[in-house]
Structure 1
Amino acid sequence: MGERLTIGEICTRSVTIAFRRTSLSGAARLMRDNHVGCLVVVEHNDGRQTAVGILTDRDLVTAVVAPELDINRFCVEDVMSTDLVCAREDDSLIDLMRTMRREGVRRIPVVGPQRELLGVVTLDDALDVLAEELCLLVGTVQSGKQRERNTIR
């Protein structure tokens, strides 16, 4: 067989980040301006950005917007998820899908050995890869049918 696709190969390396004290309105602007649905919350440790939480657009809606709270009274650390689910670069696509399903998350930071932020991988990233692989399988079926037609004549 051969190829083992890793998370490091499909993750996005350019991650939009926030800090604990970033205002929620500032966080929302970052999401809008960068066309992303989450911000990885980081702290600086020994020159590295260490992942400490994640803030999603859904977090903003369910915690602040829906209950009609004043967004200006809160910062990222008030709403972010701190029970962070992370992946490693060498995790497989299957590992990722199992983790997403088990943990009920759609976005996962990719971290190194000291929890330093390396990227982020999303359900969309996984679906893109799976769609490409399904297209290859469909092509195989079509090639087989064409080959059969050519041999029968």
Structure 2
Amino acid sequence: MDKQLTAGDICKRKVSVAYKHTSVVAAAQLMREDHVGALVVVDDANGSRQVRGLVTDRDIVMSVVATGLDPEPLCLEDIMSDHLVTARENDSLLDLMHAMREHGVRRVPVVGTQEELMGIVSLDGVLKILAQEMNLLVGSIDTSLRHERARRQSTATPVIAL
């Protein structure tokens, strides 16, 4: 049997990052360039990227655009959430899903033992993994039916013609 999937197993290791003092406009441009909907806000400390927050395209729309604020003077620290949900690399997929549901988040940065950024898990990524797992289960049903048919054919009572 395979081991239990963890956040470290399923996270994307290439993460688009920004800093607290990155302008909102520069962050939006980076999201567009990288084709992502979120940036992990980090500080470079002791040679590693320490996770400090997360800013999504929705944060920019809801906090800046929809309220009519001028984005030019704003930095990410002005709009990023104070409450950040993270996962450890060894957290199970089930624990990760529970945390996403409990906190109502679609993206979770994955951190190492020193709170350094290791990757990010998105709801889309989790759904893709679950779909693959469901496909494996469907495949086992098909295999089971084929094995049953083969057993029945090999043990069928021969018909004797009189």
Report the TM-score range of the alignment, normalised by the length of the smaller protein. Answer: over 0.9
Who is 1:79 aligned against?
Answer: 79
Q: TM-score, normalised by structure 1?
A: 0.94
Q: Secondary structure at the match of 2:12?
A: coil
Who is 2:8 aligned against?
Answer: 8
Who is 1:119 aligned against?
Answer: 119
Do the aligned partners of 1:51 and 1:115 also contact (CA within 8 Å) in 2? yes
Q: Secondary structure at the match of 2:113?
A: coil
Who is 2:24 aligned against?
Answer: 24
Residue 142 of structure 2 is aligned to residue 142 of structure 1? yes
Q: Secondary structure at the match of 2:81?
A: coil
Map Cα deviations across residues 20-49 of structure 1 (whole Å, 9 max, x no partner). 111111000111111111100011111111
Q: Which runs of 5+ in 2 are unaligned?
A: 154-162
Who is 2:63 aligned against?
Answer: 63
* 1:2 positional shift: 4.0
Identity %: 51
1-structure distance, mates of 2:91, 2:102: 15
Tell me which amino acid in the other structure corresponds to 1:28: A
**How many residues are aligned here?**
153
Q: Which runs of 5+ in 1 are unaligned?
A: none
- RMSD over aligned CA atoms reads 1.3
Q: TM-score, normalised by structure 2?
A: 0.89
**Which structure: larger Rg?**
2
Who is 2:157 aligned against?
Answer: none
Who is 1:94 aligned against?
Answer: 94
Residue 114 of structure 2 is aligned to residue 104 of structure 1? no
Do the aligned partners of 1:54 and 1:82 also contact (CA within 8 Å) in 2? no
Who is 2:152 aligned against?
Answer: 152
